[in-house]
Structure 1
Amino acid sequence: MTISSGVGVLDKAAAILNALEHGPTSLAQLVEITGISRPTVHRLAQSLVVHGLVGRDMHGRFELGNRLVELAGAAGEDRIVTTAGPLLIKLRDLTGESTQVFRKQGDHRICIASAERPVGLRDTIPVGTQLSMKAGSAAQVLLAWEDNERMIDGLRNARFTPTILAGVRRRGWAQSLGEREPGVASVSAPVRGQSGRVIAALSMSGPIERLTRQPGKIHHEAVVRTADELSDLLRAQNDPNASLSR
């Protein structure tokens, strides 16, 4: 733990929640990440489960609980949602395709912001839509920078391969062709938080007949530029003295 409030049990509970920010985590992983003894981690994590702040996934791993989502909603609109809105509209108008921001939640990804193409054939993904982490360019982005153990777990039964994820990390963007849904193509890039960690994926999607079979070649610059702009704005909100220059 790097921050101390002077109240040990709260600091340890906060360390557990911070560790779970990266996704479902086993008890052994929590011990390793937090540096807290196994009995204490188990006792605190189970107590957090009782209060809904921590949940368990289908494999028995600990994950952030639904109560945190409710509390975040009560605190006001999510900054990433309000900040992303105008940028998604600008990207939509530039490319002529639907745009979205996805955030990883457990074994799924959630659409937290979108700007749909107003007319014609389009890929419609309403806010709140829950999609698989096993297919699609946004899933590739959200998994590509995970630690090795979570990446291996995420690749099980996925439509993409370790080689594809290596390419995503090298290029800084991902594309997919019919992975999530037949006939749909997409391009995605990472949105990064204050520490540089990937916190979301910004995407554009539409029919392959318009995006072609090389959507990344055509659109990756606009998608990456928009994702970088969103990252910069979010960092500046956390640090008013931060420069927006890249």
Structure 2
Amino acid sequence: MDNSSGVGVIDKAAMVLDALEAGPTSLAQLVASTGLSRPTVHRLAQALVHHRLVGKDIHGRFVLGGRLVELASAAGEDRLIAAAGPLLVRLRDATGESSQVFRRQGEHRVCVASAERPVGLRDTIPVGTQLSMKAGSAAQVLLAWEDHQRLLDGLHGARFTPTILAGVRRRGWAQSLGEREPGVASVSAPVRGPNGRVIAAVSISGPIERLTRQPGRVHSDIVCRIAAQLSDAVRTGQENP
């Protein structure tokens, strides 16, 4: 399908932003992803950096910029967050555990929505919390479907292995036992955007004593179902019943 608007520079800038949706990207990777020439990509990326639509991480790779977050907030329209609230409450009530949605942001994953367990021992993760991409089932999900080079970079220093991520891709969900924090278990599943890319992870977390040492066996079906409903909501702009 032709996605051209007829305004060449805008179309090319949009291609650069689309390529950055998957996470930190080098200039060479942007050239490969967009099919544009290296000088064109470099010129566009630097212009987008100037306007804060694109930024750079500590390794000099291009990332989506803070201005995009400000614009989304000003518009008051974030389909993922808008749809996540009632679905996370449904997930919490079905499992009895705290539920969250995480997005990747550079070298971290950020909690963008949550529904806390109202009573008893909780694994509290407030909205805005930044956690490592090196441990936890949500980190596994956010990394498992990355391209080969990003996957290799993400595995460096991680508490999970390539074999574990292969299992995540095969099953469609991830679990962790004490990876992020001793005594805490979690189960996560991917949320996909309109283009099929993994844009977030839906998770539940709580003490191993409650979730058991095989939390995926107990809770993966409902976590995957909620993640699929959130994916549908992101694609259509409508909340699932």
Relative to the length of structure 1, the TM-score reads: 0.93
Partner residue in 2 for 1:209: 209
Post-superposition Cα deviations, 1:97-132, rounded to whole Å, max 9, x if no partner, equal 100011111111111110000111100011111111
Q: Does 225-234 or 128-137 show the bigger shift?
A: 225-234
Distance in 1 (CA, whole Å) between partners of 2:237 and 2:53 is: 26
Q: Does 36-45 or 226-235 show the bigger shift?
A: 226-235
CA shift for structure 1 position 34: 0.9
Distance in 2 (CA, whole Å) between partners of 1:236 and 1:146 is: 24
Distance in 2 (CA, whole Å) between partners of 1:191 and 1:36 is: 29
Distance in 2 (CA, whole Å) between partners of 1:84 and 1:23 is: 21
Distance in 2 (CA, whole Å) between partners of 1:215 and 1:83 is: 25
Percent identity between the aligned chains?
77
Q: Which portions of structure 1, spanning 4 or more consecutive aligned residues, are displaced by more than 4 angstroms?
A: none
Helix, strand or coil for the counterpart of 2:200?
A: strand
Distance in 2 (CA, whole Å) between partners of 1:12 and 1:233 is: 28
CA shift for structure 1 position 11: 1.6
Post-superposition Cα deviations, 1:27-62, rounded to whole Å, max 9, x if no partner, equal 111111111111111111111111111111111111
AA at the equivalent of 2:122: R
CA shift for structure 1 position 3: 2.1
| CA-atom RMSD in angstroms | 1.7
- Give yes or no for the alignment of 1:157 onto 2:154: no
Q: Does 177-186 or 190-199 show the bigger shift?
A: 190-199
Helix, strand or coil for the counterpart of 2:131?
A: strand
Partner residue in 1 for 2:178: 178
AA at the equivalent of 1:95: T
Distance in 2 (CA, whole Å) between partners of 1:31 and 1:230 is: 32
Residue correspondence of structure 1 range 1-246 to structure 2 within 5 A: 2-237=2-237
Helix, strand or coil for the counterpart of 1:102?
A: strand
CA shift for structure 1 position 182: 1.1
Relative to the length of structure 2, the TM-score reads: 0.95
Distance in 2 (CA, whole Å) between partners of 1:45 and 1:203 is: 34
Note the residue ranges of structure 2 that are not aligned, 5 or more in a row.
none
Note the residue ranges of structure 1 that are not aligned, 5 or more in a row.
239-243
Distance in 1 (CA, whole Å) between partners of 2:13 and 2:233 is: 30
Partner residue in 2 for 1:241: none
CA shift for structure 1 position 2: 4.7
In the superposition, relative to structure 1, how do residues 77 and 9 fare at CA in structure 2: closer, same or farther (>3 Å)?
closer
In the superposition, relative to structure 1, how do residues 146 and 2 fare at CA in structure 2: closer, same or farther (>3 Å)?
farther
Looking at both structures, which has the greater relative contact order when contacts are Cα pairs under 8 Å and sequence separation is at least 6? 2
